[in-house]
Amino acid sequence: MLLDIHATDSPRGFRLVGELDASNASTLSEVIQSEVDRGGDLTLDLAGLAFMDSTGIQVLVRTAQSLEGRGNLILVSPGSLVRRILELIPVQKLDNVEIVGDEDEA
Amino acid sequence: MLLDIHATDSPRGFRLVGELDASNASTLSEVIQSEVDRGGDLTLDLAGLAFMDSTGIQVLVRTAQSLEGRGNLILVSPGSLVRRILELIPVQKLDNVEIVGDEDEA
Amino acid sequence: MRTRPELTGNARSFPAHPSMLHEVRRFVRDRCYEAGMHPSATDDLVLAVSEACANAVLHSKSGVVQVAWRAGAEHVEVEVADQGVFRRTVPLQEVEGVHGHGIQLMMALMDEVTVREGTIGRPGTVVRLVKLRAS
Amino acid sequence: MRTRPELTGNARSFPAHPSMLHEVRRFVRDRCYEAGMHPSATDDLVLAVSEACANAVLHSKSGVVQVAWRAGAEHVEVEVADQGVFRRTVPLQEVEGVHGHGIQLMMALMDEVTVREGTIGRPGTVVRLVKLRAS
Ligand SMILES: Nc1ncnc2c1ncn2[C@@H]1O[C@H](COP(=O)(O)OP(=O)(O)O)[C@@H](O)[C@H]1O
Ligand SMILES: Nc1ncnc2c1ncn2[C@@H]1O[C@H](COP(=O)(O)OP(=O)(O)O)[C@@H](O)[C@H]1O
């Protein structure tokens, strides 16, 4: 599998390992949606994500929008390639999106 | 003046004559906003508009968004150049935007 | 569709102020008319050039924008050059509100669009717009 | 930055299916490595090519996508060619929901981007991506 999606309990969310692109973004979107429906903050651990394209950005934006007013989307430890795309398309500017554990701070 | 903005009473709105571009879109936006605040449908007579660029499209989209749930934006008789840009950026797909008096029907 | 020496050319500089857009449109429309370009292809090119110039005026912080017009047997091309640095942040509609979709509109209107992005080390963004005479 | 005969080249066809994206990224990454391109410039080019291929796969209705790689002394360029017609409607975010901003992202990543839009009479959209080795 190009992308492994592991559910995590504390914090509640998912750990992503592999590459996120147009071939698997809709699968990720569906998996995330079930958790979004329960409300509250959602954490995505991105440390193991070696690649993300603009369809991945779409998933993040839509997730943040569905959580709006009910919770935050927390992005943990994006690697250098993921940080590069977040630099160019700054999803973290949305009110309820936050990046923690940036490599530079580690 | 590149663009003349005439207020109209029935239907309530404005008649635009001239060219709408980045040099005057913000002026139009402000003039329209005062009427939008009163609520209800707003009509823009575009028959005299000889040119519109994407900043004009922005004004239309923002106007429609501000009217949402309170009224429709009605675009009357766009000429060929304005119809061309509306074909490529179809603002009329927004729920509360309508084009009437298309040249083809006249 | 690359620029070839046999193209007839014509270039003009305009101040980077929104009031130049009307002048640029007239310049391009007149050249297209002289070149016998089809009216609807002319309308598309005029709008695309106006969008490219609006971007240069709004985003490039240049003082001057150069518009170069060239006609070939099968196509017409216009280059819009500023002296600025291309802003590389992709505007997120959800954060920054409605945007003009200027570049997407240029692509929808033209047969070929090139953007050479100005950088700090090599300033000057150049947008090249190509319209086939027959399209 | 125009294509010159002295460029070393390498082209490959991929099926127009989302699973090709991973393969294309590896192809481009390997070529960049062989050409001694800077790692961060390589990352940018790999992402831009992946975006161009995603557009071809998602929008062009082609069966096959061709990826051509060329290296020059100062730059590397990749051309992504499909056999389809460029969809000329600009997506309105307010109507169609969030979009990927693929083309804007390519422009943010590259030094020069060209899109030649496939038409019904002349199908085949070609996206040309140029990255300076030094940037
Ligand atoms: N000539 C330019 N100089 C600097 N930045 C530019 C230029 N043209 C475009 N850009 C950048 O590209 C972005 C997208 O441009 P565009 O699609 O026309 O949308 P808009 O102008 O409405 O934002 C702009 O927001 C800007 O950051
Ligand atoms: N290869 C292609 N073939 C046909 N249409 C394309 C192609 N690439 C882009 N397009 C058109 O351009 C639009 C903008 O593309 P892009 O900026 O990548 O955003 P997105 O793909 O998320 O819509 C697409 O929605 C599509 O209509």
pLDDT value for C83: 98
Closest approach of chain C CAs to the CA of A1, in angstroms?
30
Tell me the ligand closest to D93's alpha carbon: 2
Q: What residues in D contact B91, CB-CB < 8 Å?
A: 92
Name which of B52, B88, B55, B59 is nearest B73 in CA terms. B59
Could you give the 3-state DSSP secondary structure of residue C15? strand
CA of B33 vs chain C CAs: smallest distance (Å): 16
Pairing of strands C64-71, C8-15: antiparallel
pTM over 0.90: yes
- Inform me whether the pLDDT recorded for C22 exceeds 80: yes
Q: Determine the pLDDT at residue D101.
A: 87
- pLDDT value at residue D90: 87
Summarize the confidence of residues B53-81 as an average pLDDT. Answer: 96
Mean pLDDT of chain D: 91
Coil, strand or helix at D16: coil
* Residue ranges lining ligand 2, Cβ < 6 Å: C 104; D 55-56, 59-60, 82, 84, 86-87, 91, 99-104, 125
Tell me, what's the pLDDT at C32?
Answer: 96
Residue of A nearest to D16 (CA): A23
Beta strand C75-81 with C126-132 is antiparallel
CA of C99 to the centre of ligand 1 (A): 9
DSSP-assigned letters across all residues of B54-101: HHHHHHHHHHHHHHTTT--EEEE---HHHHHHHHHS-GGGSTTEEEES
Q: Return the structure tokens found at C99.
A: 């945007």
* Residue B42 confidence (pLDDT): 98
Number of H helices, E strands in chain C: 4, 5
Query: pLDDT band at residue A106, thresholds of 50, 70 and 90?
Result: very low
Q: Average the pLDDT over C115-129 and give the result.
A: 97
| Non-local CB neighbours of D13 within 8 Å, separated by 6+ positions | D64, D65, D66, D67
Give φ, ψ of B21 to 5 degrees.
-145, -170
Give residue C89's pLDDT band: very low, low, confident or very high (50, 70, 90). Answer: confident
Considering chain C, what is the average pLDDT of its residues? 91
The 3-state DSSP class for residue C40 equals helix
- In the predicted structure, residue C3 carries a pLDDT above the cut 60: no
pLDDT of residue B39: 83
From chain D, pick out residues whose CB is under 8 angstroms from the CB of B53: none
Q: What is the mean pLDDT of each run of 10 residues along chain D (135 residues)?
A: 59 97 97 95 98 97 97 95 95 71 95 97 97 85
The rounded Cα C105 to chain-centroid distance in angstroms is 11
Q: What percent of chain B has pLDDT over 70?
A: 95
Classify residue C38 as exposed, middle or buried by CB count within 10 Å of its CB (0-12, 13-18, 19+). Answer: middle
What's the pLDDT score for residue A104?
54
| Inter-chain touch C98–B62, beta carbons under 8 Å | yes
- Residue C5: which pLDDT band, with cuts at 50, 70 and 90? very low
Model confidence over A30-70: pLDDT tens digits? 999 989 988 899 999 999 999 999 999 999 999 999 999 99
What separation in Å is there between the alpha carbon of C131 and the centre of ligand 1? 21
**Average pLDDT, stretch C105-113?**
97
- The mean pLDDT of B79-102, rounded to a whole number, is 94
Sequence-separated (6 or more) residues with CB below 8 Å from residue A104: none
CA distance B38 to chain D (A): 23
Question: Quick one: pLDDT at residue D6?
Answer: 54
Structure confidence by residue, pLDDT tens digits, C24-55: 999 999 999 999 999 999 999 999 999 999 99
Which atom of ligand 1 is the closest one to the Cα of C115? 8
Q: Which value does ipTM take for this structure?
A: 0.93
What is d(CA C104, CA C91) in angstroms, rounded to the nearest whole number? 13
